[in-house]
A = this chain, B = another copy of it.
């Protein structure tokens, strides 16, 4: 499908490098172009799982909150107790509305004098500004000039050590350093939307994107680095959530596999707490789960899922499936879905429908690997 470019859809600071590297497919994410493939998805998967890949994830925008009430404001926006959060630490958090709906699942970074919500695909700048102003928090809220570049894969750490030094091995998951690379200002965070290990380089000067990309690629050549993108096969195997893809507009974090990131017993107050406590008490209506498609060794070819597809049980729609792939490491056809809790908990077989006809599918815990 042809996308018409234009000023309403922004390009990242890495755009020229991405085009030079041969990007063939894009998505639109936070009103920016997000490269999705460079034309050889098998090679992209192998690089990610066997060596190291570089991803333009500049579309992962930041909402910055700073000022005297920043701590209070950020806590109020986040359904996780942040009282023990340290400078230099990141946390995967749920941001919910007053009815407990999941609005975004960012990584929250606590810098020395400010916070960044590093966002999935929804415009939380609107939400955060509305709440901050209406509640009279003394904060400044904005979108800084920050564009993440991801380095993911088993060789990512060796590459990052070559670039930044041995001390980066001490970084715990989601923790970060404010640093630079040859004078290019950035924040180096152990993070990324894969389970292969890796880092995100939060570039803080949009004029130097291509320079940073080239510097990382040069240093990564000895490890077989190549371009890639958030990878739907690996993320399915790893059970990572795609907000807005896997979730529906009314999903709550318990339905999105984020139960352990929601603190309902805490003393701190935040938006949606009462609604979320009710869900925690009653149990969520649906659960985010894996599916193995086919039965008895059948391995049906994945079919294109351009929309969430219904999942059936005894002729009744019991949920929606949102992504599917053949897993190279498992040899099976796997998917993720949001399905009624009773079905998931009882592991009742379900049915999905390909263009060629119905297939049986079995409930499988996430992650697959």
A residues sitting closer than 8 Å to B (CB atoms) are 1-11, 24-29, 31, 33, 36-37, 97-98, 103, 121-124, 126-127, 129-131, 133-135, 143, 242, 244-246, 249, 271, 304-308, 322-323
Contact = CB atoms under 8 A, between A and B. Distances in A.
Given A7-B307, A126-B127, 15 more contacts: A1-B5, A2-B2, A2-B3, A4-B26, A8-B242, A8-B245, A9-B27, A10-B307, A11-B307, A31-B121, A98-B133, A123-B126, A124-B126, A126-B126, A131-B134
A9 B28 contact: yes
Which of A103, A124, A130 counts the most B-chain CB atoms under 10 A from its CB? A130
29 contacts: A2-B2, A2-B3, A2-B24, A2-B25, A2-B26, A3-B26, A4-B26, A5-B306, A6-B27, A6-B323, A7-B245, A7-B246, A7-B306, A7-B308, A7-B323, A8-B27, A8-B244, A8-B245, A11-B306, A31-B121, A97-B133, A122-B123, A123-B123, A123-B126, A124-B126, A126-B126, A126-B130, A127-B129, A134-B135
The 10 A-B pairs of least Cβ separation, nearest first, read: A130-B130, A3-B3, A134-B134, A28-B28, A98-B133, A8-B245, A126-B127, A5-B306, A4-B25, A4-B36
A112 to B, nearest CB: 26
A108 to B, nearest CB: 18
Contacts of A24: 2
A8 B241 CA distance: 12
A4 B130 CA distance: 32
Contacts of A4: 1, 25-27, 36-37
A24 to B, nearest CB: 6
Number of identical protomers: 2
A98 B134 CA distance: 9
Question: Main SS of the interface on chain A?
Answer: loop
Contact of A305 (B7, B11, B28): B7
B131 A97 contact: no
Contacts of A1: 2-5, 26, 33
Contacts of A249: 143
B129 A5 contact: no
Given A121-B31, A123-B122, A123-B123, A6 B245 contact: yes
A241 to B, nearest CB: 12
Nearest to A132: B98
